[in-house]
Amino acid sequence: MNRMRRTLAGGSLLILACAVLLASDAQAQKKLLRLRLDGPVLEAPNDSTALLALFRKEQVNTLRDWVQTLRRAGDDRDISGLALIVEQPQIGLAQIEELTRALKAFEAKGKPVYCYIDHANNSTYALAAAATHITLAEHSTLDILGLHASAMYLKGLLDKLGIEADMMHCGAYKSALETFTRTEPSPEARENIDWLLDGIFERWIQLIADGRKLPVAEVKKLVDQAPLSAQQALEHKLVDDVSSFAAFRQRLHKEFGKDVSVLKKYEEQRGPELDMSNPFVLLPQILRLFEQATEPEKQPAIGLIYIEGGIMMGKSDDSPFGGMTAGSTTVRSALEEARQDDSLKAVVVRVDSPGGSALASDIIWEAATRCAAEKPLIVSMGGVAGSGGYYVALPGDTIFAEATTLTGSIGVVGGKLVLNGLFEGKLGITTTEFSRGQNAGLVSTNRRWNDAERAWMTAYMNGVYEQFKGRVTKSRGERIKKDLEEVAGGRVYTGAQALDLGLVDKLGGLSDALDFAATKAGLGRDYSVQIVPKPSGIGAFLSLLTKLTGQDQKDEFEVSSVGLARDPLLRTLLPLVRGLAPAQVKELWRALQNLTMLEHEKVGCFMPLVPQIR
């Protein structure tokens, strides 16, 4: 009997000890992840942009970084919730759609998302709407003004300079070069812009309505009343609290506990602490990072290839001053590497491109087709995948797009600028031409095409256009739900519209495409992803430097400073102009890229004029 009592007593002590351990473990699990969305949200790793952002003290992450962080943290039983601080992220609506799904998936696991926002505009509020609870700064405004689009036309400037644009196109809706030939959109371009805005506006409204659990009609009514004061936003249930950032911190401590541990950096495997008092401590870490860049991946994985920016011949360029370009040589090499690597069981191609060179697009199409013949090849479209961007997506077994992706634009353009009016008429510079060969003056900038040259250009452009449509027919076949001529002609569609027409197969983001590829390849949920070509060691080094700069040390929920204080006092002219008018500079740069490409290749597959939407 005594032995039984001792056994029961021992068992009780064991249960009590386990309970204490479990309680202490539960207490240790009380952790809050903090994510601060600010600065550029990149598609592909970009060393030059990362380096520039580091010196400007900006945060740089790829879209996949954010989604993966949310997914891992959602599965981490130690993480109890999320503090989301939305500042001034440079983010597109298609990226917002993917992040919204990731935030909702995190929340669905019983982990609330608390969002703080100083000032909300169309894009930042659409993202914040996915949160469980939104705090808007007191005395702020909610600027959900609706979508405003502006299109830039340069004909008036060219007229003043004495420059004439001699442009041609295949497809009535292929308005890519109208910026040089008109002062306003053509009827077809205006029609195209209107149906795009209709689709994007409906999706934007739906994101807000779903996030805040409000009727769509009510959200539209509130948009028409905006800008809304913080108090009005609270009264109409667009936000949950109007208070200071200090009050937001107090709310989090009240919700998660006074001693909650805040994780500002979440990593699956945390490396060793670095003793920064030792000036040589970085050397072995740097060497290790560059060694890792050359270590081959042996385990089965999904290959991820990015096609970002204008599609051009040659090597890709990630210059921060020139913008991203997807070079045919670089992308073809990546597709060949992925095709030949037996450890890669499937390939996902992420396309975020308005197109560019017709020849480069076809080179990439051919390499992607070879790869797709040997292993599953899935395409994920980003914010834009039109014209050449759609061309290179065609080999995909399955094409994913977001509802707000801009795609389609099946058509080609050609043209040149005639500069004689500037040189002779304005500057007094005369030119005498000498030619041998009937079409030797085809690319001359001193005159318009003559009849023979124009006939040659027309035939050449029609040939490229027929080839483009032939690729579409071969790849999409019966999946296209209308006659191809009704779908082509340069028409641009949202992802949702493209799905209805059979131009794409599914709505979803990069993570959905990767999951789909893993399933097709027979890999489990914990599959690994290998970027092809593998990012350089400098990218990992920049990431390490960012961690060691001492940023975000003042407060666990710190909101960074904004405005001019974020940048050096003395700026070179180009970054300054880009800062004042980034959308306009981006469009001008794209136009100059296209003109340069036409000078060398005569015909292009790039998007028609799609106005900047804000």
Reduced 3-state DSSP string for 504-554: CCEECCHHHHHHHHHHHCCCCCCCEEEECCCCCHHHHHHHHHHHHCCCCCC
Cα–Cα distance for residue pair 604/180, rounded to 1 Å:
15
Greatest pairwise CA separation for the chain in angstroms: 119
Tell me the per-residue pLDDT of 406-419, one tens digit each, with 9 for 90 and over: 999 999 999 888 99
In this prediction, residue 51 has a pLDDT band, given cuts at 50, 70 and 90, of low
Q: Is the pLDDT of residue 610 over 70?
A: no
Q: Is the pLDDT of residue 264 over 50?
A: yes
How much is the average pLDDT of 116-122?
93
Higher pLDDT, 579 or 331: 331
* Residue 15 confidence (pLDDT): 45
Q: What percent of the chain has pLDDT over 70?
A: 77
Return the structure tokens found at 488: 């082509």
How much is the average pLDDT of 133-137?
96
Same CATH fold, 149-193+301-526+582-614 and 31-145+226-263? yes
Tell me the per-residue pLDDT of 178-198, one tens digit each, with 9 for 90 and over: 989 999 999 999 999 999 999
How much is the average pLDDT of 355-381?
96
Q: What percent of the chain has pLDDT over 90?
A: 57
Sign of CA dihedral 185, 386, 495, 223: negative
* Residue 307 confidence (pLDDT): 95
Cα–Cα distance for residue pair 45/55, rounded to 1 Å:
17
* Residue 106 confidence (pLDDT): 97
* Residue 56 confidence (pLDDT): 52
In 3D, which of 26, 42, 4, 39 has the Cα closest to residue 77?
Answer: 26
In 3D, which of 596, 600, 575, 608 has the Cα closest to residue 325?
Answer: 596
* Residue 305 confidence (pLDDT): 97
Higher pLDDT, 565 or 506: 506
* Residue 499 confidence (pLDDT): 97
* Residue 555 confidence (pLDDT): 52
Tell me the per-residue pLDDT of 413-439, one tens digit each, with 9 for 90 and over: 998 889 989 888 888 988 888 888 888
In 3D, which of 188, 95, 187, 85 has the Cα closest to residue 128?
Answer: 85
In this prediction, residue 521 has a pLDDT band, given cuts at 50, 70 and 90, of very high
Are the CB atoms for 180 and 163 separated by under 8 Å?
no
Cα–Cα distance for residue pair 177/568, rounded to 1 Å:
37
Tell me the per-residue pLDDT of 270-293, one tens digit each, with 9 for 90 and over: 444 445 455 555 555 555 555 555
Q: Which of 373-382, 470-479, 531-540 is the most confident on average?
A: 373-382
Higher pLDDT, 471 or 591: 471
Q: Is the pLDDT of residue 377 over 60?
A: yes
* Residue 38 confidence (pLDDT): 87
Are the CB atoms for 503 and 408 separated by under 8 Å?
yes
Are the CB atoms for 500 and 185 separated by under 8 Å?
no
* Residue 611 confidence (pLDDT): 52
Tell me the per-residue pLDDT of 553-571, one tens digit each, with 9 for 90 and over: 445 555 443 333 333 433 3
Return the structure tokens found at 474: 């071969």
pLDDT averaged over the chain?
82
Return the structure tokens found at 430: 């005369």
* Residue 431 confidence (pLDDT): 87
Cα–Cα distance for residue pair 248/244, rounded to 1 Å:
6
Higher pLDDT, 97 or 147: 97
In 3D, which of 476, 459, 477, 461 has the Cα closest to residue 358?
Answer: 461
CATH superfamily, domain at 31-145+226-263? 2-enoyl-CoA Hydratase; Chain A, domain 1 (3.90.226.10)
CATH architecture of 149-193+301-526+582-614: Alpha-Beta Complex (3.90)
Q: Is the pLDDT of residue 545 over 60?
A: no
Q: Where are the domains of the chain?
A: 31-145+226-263, 149-193+301-526+582-614
Q: How far is CA 22 from CA 25, 33, 539, in A?
A: 5, 22, 41
